[in-house]
Structure 1
Amino acid sequence: MSAQPKILIVEDEGIVAFNLQQRLQQMGYQVTGLAESGNEGLSLVSSQRPDLVLMDIHIKGEMDGIELARMLTRDHALPIIYLTAYSEDTTLERARQTQPYGYLIKPFSERELHATIQMALERHQVQTALRDSQQLLSQALEAALMGTIEIDLAQDTVRMNGAPGATLGFVPGQAQTVDAFLARLSAADREQMREDLRPGVNRRHVLSLVSTEGLEHWLQIDVTTTDDGRMRGVVQDVSARERARLTMLRTNEQLEERVAERTAELRQHVQELEAFSHTAAHDLRSPIRAIAGLGEILMEMHGEQLGDDGRQMLDRMRQAARRMGELIEALLGLSKLSRAPLHPQPVDLAVMAREIGEALRQAEPGRAVDFDTPDSLMATADPALIRSVLDNLLRNAWKFSRERERAHIRFSAEEQDGEPVYAVSDNGCGFDMKHGAQLFSPFFRLHSEQTYGGTGLGLSIAQRIVGRHGGRIWAEGRPGEGATIRFTLGA
């Protein structure tokens, strides 16, 4: 609205109209024109766009002021103030139906006129802002597929507006019975909604309903109970979201079924492979033992006749058979790891490490080795399996530090990110970190068998056992500067 409100005067008595114009201008209003008839008033409204109309009821022409006011209110939403000398009931009733902003009986004072105009302009401004807000709200609700809902249990009515209401066949402004609304719901939602249709219950519902076309829709309803006992709130069509959710659930269920099937197949394949590995390794024992035994007999009975070359070849054959026997035993041990049940319990890893170190010293008493372990290091693990891990790691440290004049082997633990990390370190030959991941592959070797013996399965066995405990294992090292193997045991 402009700083100086514009007012149109519709009055067929020229002297009265001119006098009113003078009084309004003295009050600070801008008079946009004087009209004597309804047609002249329509023309001036279209051209001048006034902010308010002062309307006499009896004017020239076929239409009176009340009919003109009805047209202006309908087409231009203008505030109307009637200025008339007539106050009979029939005239007042006709004027009231046009919802005027004021009704002044002539004669009236300037103070009455000014106060009535000010209240009319302020009321119109508030109503315009409210109408704009309602329009914006309506547009927002429509864009979000939302609407409003009102449930009146006392009147047995349900009213729903907006897109969701149209989907369910609600006519704007018209009501359905509560039972008719509930009949649209799925059986489970119907019973829940009946339970919640009680005073004081404020809740969000996602309901499955059937539209007028027989299609399933989902509505999200947020209602609160008002002081008069009615439930009012907003409703949103969330069918797209719910269909996507149900599709995802079905996809997840199908995926879980496929994963279960593939897991069962994989488990079966692994069991078959382990069984084959175990059987094959077991069946190879006899011929390898026969080769080694026959070699011993041949050496004892005919060693002199074979000569030096023959005895060397026979000795190499016996060593190869013994080596094959060690590999078979290692493979059998590796295959048993997946089948053996875990029996976790508190164990002192430091005590185990010292026992293994003492056994290594007794096997090679001539070596100078500093063996460092803490006094106690408690953990929860399967005693037999974790001993196998420590045995493999400490034997590797013992073996690969053989070239040192004085070897240093250390078993320790530290906390990283709230988790205990155990470590076996040595000052041996070390390794290049580019081979770090391959160290745990079965039969992988960084050094020749002649230089450092063994089956090549020690770290692979350790990795499998650590994995069964829910932990992880990794290696760090540098050529000529030793190596450190670290591992965790999970939760």
Structure 2
Amino acid sequence: MFRIKDYPMMFSKPPPNLKETKKILVVEDERIIAINLKESLESLGYTVPAIAASGEQAIAKATEFRPNLVLMDIWLKGNIDGIEAAQQIWECLKIPTIYVTGHSDQSTVERVKITAPFGYILKPVKEQALYVAIETALKRYEREQLISAILRGIGDGVIVTDKEGQVKFLNQVAESLTGWQLAEAKDQKFTEVFNIVDEQTRQPVEDVLKNVLEQDTIIYLEKQILLLPKQGKPIPIADSLALIKNNDGAIEGMVLVFRDATRQRLAQEQNRAMERARQLEYDIAELQCLDLFHDESLSKTSLELPTSPAKIKLAVRILETILDQQSLLSSQIRSNSTVIARYWGIVQEQCNQKLKLVNDLLDIGAIETEVHPLQLTLIQFPDWMPELIKPFEAWAQFQQQRLHIDIDPNLPPLVSDRLSLTRMLTELLNNAFKYTPAGEDIGVTVGALGDGNVETRHGASLRSGDGFWTKNFTVEIQVSNSGVEIPLDEREKIFEPFYRIPSSYSWKQEGTGLGLTVTKMLVHRLQGEIDVTSDRDGTIFTIFIPSLQSQEMEVEHDHDQ
């Protein structure tokens, strides 16, 4: 008769420093083997609360004693064998099982694999192998329970599928949002549980599972999406999908993380309404200014550029406000009239484009004639620059670009015109974000070039009198982006008005072709210089801005020194 003690053992006494005694249920219909297993377990420091001889007894004893682990023989007396009993114990009680059996034929192993056991030990059992299997199973169970607890407690909905697209896990938030319980959703098709439609057209969204498999990357649903729960009203959601891979890179399944975006949508609508109100006030003031201002630079174009774009834009915004108040442009109406929504968007886009063209031309004229004097002020770059760049961070995340910022924390204050600096850097950042492909880098670096006299574009040196500083210094600002190269023969032309690089895809990007022209003029007005370098690694725009002085500043030319 088989006895475990007849085999070599690793441990002659219970292992030391067990933090707590683990309870192990023995399920074995051979009484002598069961007793030997019980003695071996107790010698290893475990507690055996009971021995079961059948599958039915195993389920009853597990329910009564709630052990940490079950040692299960496969072939048992009764109507339920060990595999079926282990499966029921796991589904109902989440108690892990290690099979202890003398059978290793292929059909038995295939049945066992379906239940995802925590271990498989062949008889005769060695105490060394028994202890290793138990501790390994308990550690694995602890890790899985920790992960499961995290997924259950996370604030977003989580759905996990296998590689065939069958649901394997839902956390409580996902259950609440979809209306499906884990027990009924398990092994259902992903698209059956996660039923989503386009908010505008109310048409089913294309197979997102297929997209993530084809692209092999994290997918963010960019459209406005509605989740159709099992019961209840549609829910606006935001979500992302990613593949689950094993250590060999093979796809094991997919994980979806999503959340209810109702509050976010309401906040966005409120912000848009407030922005429209502010924009109306600005447009009225802008219209008054345009009626009074005219510049010689407008004659350089064949376009007639009076105040009509601003008036049209103002009329469009007033009409939009009236229609919104009458609920004629609500999201529901728009979804039923995509043609109206499309042409409404074209009118708004073209109005904005033409008005920006007018504004850029007027800005060029204002800079050339120095209509507006410089407003010199102290600029603390470590404090001011992050606020300027903050709106671009969301843009970078949306376009899957990487934004890097490096500002010298010891940079002294710069005396310059804050409004001009803001316009220059905004133009450069807008270009970087528009033309940088997804997955590439955009960088902003700010540092001091040095102290002492500074060479200006006029060949003069600036020397302070009774101004802000006893010494001048120059700030060097670099805006770089990777993935785009500007040909050498095009680099000087890009600062010319309305010039677009023919070989680029600039025709796909909205713009007036005047941004870099305005930037260069502002840089020169601040006594600075702008330079551009470009190669296969990317493009760098560098601006050198000297610290200007108060009205007591003296200018000495090199030949007078």
* TM-score computed with the length of structure 1 as normaliser: 0.41
Higher relative contact order, structure no. (Cα contacts within 8 Å, ≥ 6 residues apart) = 2
> Which protein shows a greater Rg?
1
* TM-score computed with the length of structure 2 as normaliser: 0.36
